[in-house]
Amino acid sequence: MTLGFYPGCSLKGSSREYAESVLAVVKAFNIQIQEIDDWNCCGATAAHSLNKELSLALPARVLSLAEKQGLKEIVVPCAACYARLSMTQHELLKNPELKTRIAEINNLEYNGTVSILNVIQMLDRYVTPNLESRVVKPFGHKVACYYGCYLVRPHEILNFDRVEEPLSMDTLMAKTGATPIDWAFKTECCGASLSISRTSSVGRLSGKIVGDASDRGAEAIIVACPMCQSNLDMRRKEINSYLGKRIDIPVLYITQAIGLAIGLDRKALGLQRHFVKVKV
């Protein structure tokens, strides 16, 4: 079976190292993957705050295109995209009239047959069974696994991991040879899209996350969301200013950490693109 791939806007632009690492890891495990043809933006945070039908039509079009390609499962690495596609599918399947209306807007049939996986679910299903046997360079570092807001919420729709104390990423990192720490900020907000409009707020919110990880001895922060990675990495100047000290803990995507553990080339994983140098 071929796994569908929805990169979303971030993985084609500001977070292309995430896409590079996802594709490098699936290739290493001989997973067949196919990008959804003619995909569009999911609407992110803007659409559902402005127009209800638009906020559903954009993700629904992506899902319709995946169905049209004959894809049964699609991996959506961006946590925000994963949430938008999953919530749209949930809402349309419980409201047939709305589903029909959105299909008319998109001029595409939508049946709701595609299974949507976030990157952790994809790794658990297709990588984890063979991961430990493939580790050649154990990721022997203490890590803070940071889930952020979107990956586990809303639980009643996503039904993924525990809301307050998720462990799926911790379990996966332990299989690479890492030591996940017990810490207080694994699901706290990093500031999300306030990164541009209220950078100081992002410095404060992300500063609490980075500060707690550092205080508990973490040598790296592991993420599965492009916005979280961007805020914790790119806004380090504001973070350090808020904390009143310099902290150089790198922020890696979980696929980059897995790639390092199985011996993939650092450039193929996009590690050279980070603002905070990755020395682990």
* 129 occurs within a structural domain: no
From residue 43, alpha-carbon distances to 51, 231, 249 in Å are: 10, 20, 32
Q: Do residues 76 and 191 share a domain?
A: no
Q: Do residues 182 and 246 share a domain?
A: yes
CATH number, residue 82: 1.20.1050.140
Give the whole-angstrom CA distance, residue 256 versus residue 23. Answer: 10
Q: Do residues 47 and 169 share a domain?
A: no
Asked if residue 145 lies in contact with residue 180, where contact means CB atoms within 8 angstroms, the answer is yes
- 9 conformational bin, left if phi > 0, alpha if psi -120 to 50, beta if neither: alpha
Q: Where among 56, 86, 119 does a domain terminate? A: 119
Domain count, the chain: 2
* 196 occurs within a structural domain: yes
Give the pLDDT confidence score for residue 140 in this predicted structure. 95
Q: Do residues 67 and 27 share a domain?
A: yes
Q: Do residues 222 and 99 share a domain?
A: no
Q: Do residues 242 and 139 share a domain?
A: yes
Q: Where among 92, 119, 146 does a domain terminate? A: 119
From residue 42, alpha-carbon distances to 3, 11, 45, 47, 206 in Å are: 19, 13, 9, 8, 25
Tell me the two tokens of residue 113: 């047959």
Q: Are strands 142-145 and 179-180 parallel, antiparallel or unpaired?
A: parallel
Tell me the two tokens of residue 225: 């969301």
* 43 occurs within a structural domain: yes
| pLDDT tens digit sequence for 72-106 | 999 999 999 999 999 999 999 999 999 999 999 99
DSSP assignment of 207-263: HHHHHHHHHTT-SEEEES-HHHHHHHHHTHHHHHHHHTS-----EEEHHHHHHHHTT
Q: Report percent pLDDT > 70 for the chain.
A: 100
* 55 occurs within a structural domain: yes
Identify the three-state secondary structure at position 23: helix
For residue 235, give its domain range: 135-273
Give the pLDDT confidence score for residue 81 in this predicted structure. 95
Give the whole-angstrom CA distance, residue 89 versus residue 23. Answer: 25
Burial of 216 (0-12, 13-18, 19+ CB in 10 A): middle
Q: Do residues 143 and 105 share a domain?
A: no
* 279 occurs within a structural domain: no
Tell me the two tokens of residue 7: 């990169």
Q: What is the mean pLDDT of the chain?
A: 94
CATH number, residue 227: 3.40.50.11810
Q: Do residues 253 and 207 share a domain?
A: yes
- 135 conformational bin, left if phi > 0, alpha if psi -120 to 50, beta if neither: beta
Tell me the two tokens of residue 25: 């890891």
Q: Do residues 248 and 183 share a domain?
A: yes
Q: Do residues 143 and 114 share a domain?
A: no
* 99 occurs within a structural domain: yes
Q: How many CB atoms lie within 10 A of CB 5?
A: 22
List phi, psi (to 5°) of 5. Answer: -135, 120
Q: Where among 59, 90, 119 does a domain terminate? A: 119
* 126 occurs within a structural domain: no
Global pTM exceeds 0.85:
yes
Q: Do residues 42 and 111 share a domain?
A: yes
Q: Spell out, as residue ranges, where the chain has pLDDT lower than 70.
A: none
Q: Write the CB contacts of 154 (distance below 8 Å, at least 6 apart in sequence).
A: 87
Q: Do residues 232 and 263 share a domain?
A: yes
* 125 occurs within a structural domain: no
